[in-house]
Structures are given as C-alpha cells and as structure tokens.
C-alpha cells in the first residue's frame, strides 16, 4: 500500500511525503533522467549537489543492452547507477513515440523492472498523440487499461505507475483515470503530453491535467510525464501534479541552451548571464562560449539543474505561504500561452473543481496580480456563499452602495453606519465584488491588497455581481442619506456587531446556522486593545471565538453541540468508525483511514463536527482534507481535533 501523506497545501497543489523502500521523497519533486549509456552528472552528484531525492531511468534502454541488463539483474538497478535513494524506471513508451514500436511484451518489461529492484516501475502504455482521432484515442486507452490490468499481476512489492492516456479528449482522459483508479495501481503518470509542451499548447495541457485529476484517486501521486521545463511547474503543481522528470537539463545543454524560470536562452544570442546560480556566478557568457564543447555541455547541464530545482523550492515555499496562485499568475505574464491556460481555468466547471481543494483562508493576504485574480477559486467561493448563505432580506430592505475605501470599510464608514436605521444596510462596491459592511473583516476581503485601478474585466465581473446582489432592494444614494439617518446612532452601532456575527456564521457554517449558535441571550466579548469581537457567548455558553488573523470563527464544543442538534446528518460532520470513538474522546486527531463519511460541503481548514457512525458527537475539529481526500487516503491526519465532547 502506498504511503502518501499531505503535509501542506494550496490550490490543488500539495506538499506530501511519499515513502519508498529506499527513503522518503518530499513532493513536489523533480526526477532527473539518468541515461545509463551516457551519464553527464552522476546520480550521487544529483543527490549531494542538487539535493535530488529521487531519480528516473529507462528500463527499456537497460533491457536492450546485454551488459547493462545482466548487471542490473545481478546487482540491482540502484547499484548499476550508483544511487541508494528512491528510483523510478520508465518502460519504453516514450521510445515508441520517438522511434516507433518497441520490441518487448508489456508484462515482460514490468517483470524486468520488478526484478532489478525499481522502487516505482511503469507500465508499457500506448502513447496517444494530441492530433489522434477520437476513435483511435479510445482504442489506445482501452489497450492501455488492458495492459495496466495485466501488468499489476506481476508488480510484486514494486510500486507500479499506470499511465493516464486519452489525447486531448477531456471525457476520455477522465474515463481512463477512473478505470485506472479502480485497479491496484500505486502511481499515476499523465502521459502523452510532451507534444503539447513542445508546441507550447499550455491551454490544452491544463485541460488534460484537470480532466485526468478529476477521475483519479487523490490519495496517490500524480506524475506529469516528460515535463522538464520549470516554466510550467507552478501551473502543473497548482492543478495537482506531484512529480516531474527532466531530461531537458541535458538536451538543452547539448544544444547550448540555458533553462530559465521564464523560458529558454540560446548561449550564442546573449552577452550576459541573467542568473546567479553557481555556474553563472563563476563564469561569463564569453567564457562559456569559448570553452570546449564537453566542458560547456557539463556546465550548462549544471545550470539547467540549478534553475529547475530552484523552481521546485520556490513552489514548495509558495504552498507553505499560501500564495501559489500568485506565483502561477506572475509566471503566466512571462509567456502568452500560459496566459491562455489561465483563461481555461476561468471556466465554471474547472473553478468548481478547484474550489474543492482550496483552503478556507490563508496565512498571507491575497495579492492582486491582474485580470486572472478575480477568477481565483477562493474568490469564486466567496461569491457563491454570498448568494447561497448570506441573509439579506431578513435584516434590511434598503441598501446604500458606497465606493471602496481604506480598510476596514466599517471603520472608514463608521459615521455613516451609526446614523442609519437597522433596515438600511451599507454595501461596498469593492474590487472583489459586493461586500456587505459586516463582512469586511473576513478572509479574503480584509486580507487582500488591491491597486487603486484594476483591469476592465475585473470591473465588469464586479459590476455584474453587484447588480445581481442589489436585485429586489431599494437603492439609496449617498446624497440622500440625510433623509434616513438616526441621529442617536446607538441602535445602528449595536446592530453592526450582531449583524457581523450573524453574517459570518452563515457564510462559514451554512445558512441559518445563527439560529442554533445564537439561540438565547447573546454576549459579545471584545478585545480591549482593538475593540474587535473575540468571543461569543449564548446563554452563558462559549460557542465561538473570532480569529484576528482571518475574521472567521473557531467553533467551541458548546457551539458544536448546538449545530449538531440543528443540522441534519451529514452536514458539517466528519464520520469516524465506532472502533476509534475512545481514541477521539481522548483528544487524538482523526486519521483518514478511520473516516467513513464526510459532508461534501466541507473544505480544507473548515471547522467540523466529529461524530461516530451512530451520529454521536465526539469532538470539534478543523479539516485538513476535503471529502474526496478523507475517503481515499490511508495515511495522514484528516481532522485536527481541538476540543472533545465530555457530555454524554
């Protein structure tokens, strides 16, 4: 069974621990391709100098060479290559794409990979080109699935990678992924994408990745086969790819080309080296041009590896910081075809899928980078919840629309709010869409950095959303406010605090959740230093605490009991096996392997109710995974338990 565990996440990207017989690999990971016939940089150097945790080599090349084959069978592929870390082998599928048919039985090459001790072997799938007809692509997919089914019988203790094919046909990709996921496969390469990358068809590439991911078991690693240029790493990781392999470091070096984070440079076309890697820090462009081909080849290969591994490190840090989307958007500005790929992600069906994996809030503020920002999944979620969960007509029938101001909006417009009767609300026409004044402290509204002037598309999207939000209300202009003001001011001031609590509860926990959490005498405790709401009591029960970092609530066990009584199963619930009931009541975290059901509306970092199979409330906690992941993963924590239910 594959030991694969999520440690950090952002977008659909993730930092995971992948355990093999030869060590643990942290993803996203780049696997340098080692050609056993032509080793430029040794595998040991890959590990020691470039910190490569895993490498990949081609088992078909080893198999076809008698000397290499016999040594690999006698001593193992790790000793053959001089590498004692995790090692993956390819099967010869790419050779069939480049050179035509390969003369080997699909099960024979899997047995060979097993016998030489590969940690991760690969099936001999049928490479399917982007220009393949649908009929031909379907035949290739059926043959690939058939080969996977047969090959799995011979994998032994080796992890087996079963490749997803399907050309550019999205439904076919998804179907192939679903069928492969039903098998005892351990690793999922997305294949047949090299021609798309060679022709910079990143729009098609994005669709291929997402449609494949939609059908795949999320608990196993995904490898974007043949993706070796760092230009596409951020986008591919954001869409859920965990592994990449690079032979590009050598191929580009052989052609006197330098890989850069934003593209590729020809050495003979530059006078300066716009890079600070060890190679470029020690040499000038002139020196590289005048040295021998062999020496230059080696140094350019080193440069290409430094840049490629550097991009992986950058992506990992972005995931930990919660700003991977910003990295993706900034990267897209360096290539027009990447901008086309981001345009694809604006489709509703893709945003809907990506939103499933998007955490509720992040450690850092949301930064605007351009027209793509308004389409991010976390903003898409805010808009959906605003229309689905936010209570409007229960509280007011008139709206004053005010322009965006300094944050927090409620402080800037305090003089207006305090003088308005309760039946009139203030809505900010913000650059993220309409913001009722009481929601101005929640993520990402307060925690966003926007320029004074945004692009026309963002303006258009926000205008449509505001028009939709205002439908059915009487709109009052700022100039006419004097007709409606309440000079006492006290009533409006008190109601804003309560309205903030009610609205945030509904946005976070679901429509009408306030009816459960706020039933009884309400007491709001504020910070003495900031004046902001910190704790909410109902009939002297501590039901909620408001976090200063994201303006959202931490659910207390008293509040959890109320929501448990109010909402029907399975809303807000993560259901665990009865056998681990005492484990949870002892305050331990919920591990994925014990989860039997989960509310499909829960998202990473959502507050949740932990219940047993009889719907008995055991504890309150915070989700680390969504439903798809909880029901798939066999390793790792699904819910971080915060407070156990001591009441019987």
Residues tagged active-site = 90
Residues with Cβ within 8 Å of 611's Cβ and at least 6 positions away in sequence, in order, are 564, 569, 573, 574, 575, 576, 617, 618
C-alpha gyration radius of the chain? 28
Residues with Cβ within 8 Å of 624's Cβ and at least 6 positions away in sequence, in order, are 6, 604, 605, 636, 637, 638, 639, 640
111 C-beta neighbours (distance < 10 Å), count = 17
**Whats the size of the chain, residue-wise?**
648
Query: And the tokens for 454?
Result: 């945004």
Query: And the tokens for 116?
Result: 């030489």
Residue 623 pairs in a beta bridge with 639
Helix (H, G, I), strand (E, B) or coil at 111: helix
Secondary structure letter of residue 431 according to DSSP: B
| H or E element in which residue 296 lies | helix 293-321
DSSP per-residue codes, 307-370: HHHHHHHHHHHHHHHT-HHHHHHHHHTT-HHHHHHHHHTTSHHHHHHHHTTS-S--SS-EE--S
Do residues 521 and 538 touch, judged by C-beta distance below 8 A?
yes
Do residues 312 and 318 touch, judged by C-beta distance below 8 A?
no
3-state secondary structure 5-37: EEEEEECCEEEEEEEECCEEEECCEEEEEECCC
Cα distances (angstroms) measured from residue 344 to each of 335, 379, 464: 15, 17, 21
Do residues 575 and 597 touch, judged by C-beta distance below 8 A?
yes
Residues with Cβ within 8 Å of 456's Cβ and at least 6 positions away in sequence, in order, are none
| H or E element in which residue 470 lies | helix 456-470
| Cα distance between residue 330 and residue 345, in whole Å | 15
Candidates 424, 603, 387, 627; CA nearest to 506 is: 387
Query: And the tokens for 361?
Result: 């809030």
Which residue in this structure is represented by tokens 């900034």? 330
| Cα distance between residue 59 and residue 373, in whole Å | 44
| H or E element in which residue 42 lies | none
User: ∠ at Cα 220 (17, 378), nearest 5°?
Assistant: 85
């Amino acid at each position: 069974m594959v030991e694969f565990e999520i440690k950090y996440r952002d977008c659909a990207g993730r930092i995971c621990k992948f355990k093999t017989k030869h060590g643990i690999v942290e993803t996203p990971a780049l696997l340098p391709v080692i050609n056993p016939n032509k080793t430029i940089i040794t595998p040991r150097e890959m590990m020691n100098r470039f910190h490569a945790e895993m490498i990949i080599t081609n088992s078909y090349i080893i198999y076809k060479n008698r000397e290499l084959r016999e040594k690999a069978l006698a001593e193992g592929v790790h000793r053959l290559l001089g590498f004692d870390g995790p090692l993956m082998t390819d099967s010869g599928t790419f050779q069939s794409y480049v050179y035509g048919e390969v003369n080997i039985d699909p099960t024979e090459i899997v047995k060979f990979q097993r016998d030489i001790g590969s940690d991760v072997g690969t099936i001999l799938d049928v490479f399917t080109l982007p220009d393949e007809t649908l009929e031909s692509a379907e035949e290739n997919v059926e043959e690939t699935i058939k080969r996977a089914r047969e090959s799995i019988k011979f994998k032994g203790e080796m992890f087996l990678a079963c490749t997803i094919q399907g050309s550019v046909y999205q439904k076919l990709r998804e179907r192939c992924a679903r069928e492969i996921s039903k098998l005892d496969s351990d690793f999922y390469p997305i294949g047949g994408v090299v021609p798309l990358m060679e022709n910079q068809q990143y729009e098609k590439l994005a669709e291929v990745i997402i449609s494949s991911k939609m059908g795949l078991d999320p608990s196993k690693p995904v490898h974007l086969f043949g993706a070796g240029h760092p230009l596409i790493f951020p986008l591919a990781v954001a869409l859920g790819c965990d592994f990449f392999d690079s032979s590009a470091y050598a191929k580009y070096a052989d052609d006197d080309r330098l890989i850069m984070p934003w593209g590729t440079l020809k050495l003979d076309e530059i006078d300066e080296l716009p890079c600070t890697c060890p190679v470029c820090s020690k040499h000038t462009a002139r020196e590289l041009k005048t040295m021998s081909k062999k020496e230059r080849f080696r140094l350019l290969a080193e440069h290409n590896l430094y840049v490629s591994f550097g991009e992986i490190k950058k992506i990992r840090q972005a995931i930990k910081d919660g700003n991977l989307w910003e990295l993706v958007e900034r990267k897209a500005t360096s290539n027009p075809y990447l901008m086309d790929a981001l345009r694809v992600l604006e489709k509703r069906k893709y945003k809907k899928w990506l939103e499933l994996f998007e955490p509720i809030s992040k450690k850092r503020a949301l930064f605007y980078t351009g027209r793509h920002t308004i389409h991010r999944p976390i903003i898409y979620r805010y808009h959906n919840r605003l229309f689905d969960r936010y209570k409007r007509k229960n509280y007011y029938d008139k709206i004053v629309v005010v322009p965006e101001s300094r944050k927090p909006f409620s402080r800037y417009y305090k003089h207006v709010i305090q003088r308005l009767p309760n039946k009139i609300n203030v809505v900010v026409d913000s650059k993220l869409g309409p913001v009722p004044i009481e929601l101005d402290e929640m993520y990402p509204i307060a925690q966003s950095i926007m320029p004074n002037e945004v692009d026309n598309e963002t303006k258009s999207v926000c205008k449509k959303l505001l028009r939709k939000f205002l439908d059915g209300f009487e709109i009052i202009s700022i100039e006419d406010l004097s007709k409606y003001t309440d000079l006492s001011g006290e009533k409006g001031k008190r109601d804003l605090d309560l309205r903030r609590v009610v609205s945030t509860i509904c946005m976070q926990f679901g429509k009408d959740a306030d009816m459960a959490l706020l039933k009884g005498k309400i007491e709001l405790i504020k910070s003495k230093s900031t004046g902001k709401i910190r704790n909410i009591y109902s009939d002297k029960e501590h039901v909620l605490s408001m976090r200063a970092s994201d303006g959202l609530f931490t659910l207390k066990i008293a509040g959890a009991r109320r929501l448990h009584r109010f909402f029907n199963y399975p809303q807000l619930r993560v259901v665990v096996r009865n056998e681990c009931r005492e484990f949870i009541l002892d305050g331990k975290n919920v591990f994925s392997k014990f989860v039997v059901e989960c509310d499909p509306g829960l998202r990473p970092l959502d507050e949740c109710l932990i219940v047993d199979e009889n719907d008995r409330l055991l504890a309150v906690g915070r989700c680390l995974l969504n439903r798809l992941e909880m029901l798939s993963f066999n390793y790792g924590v699904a819910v971080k338990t915060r407070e156990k239910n001591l009441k019987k």
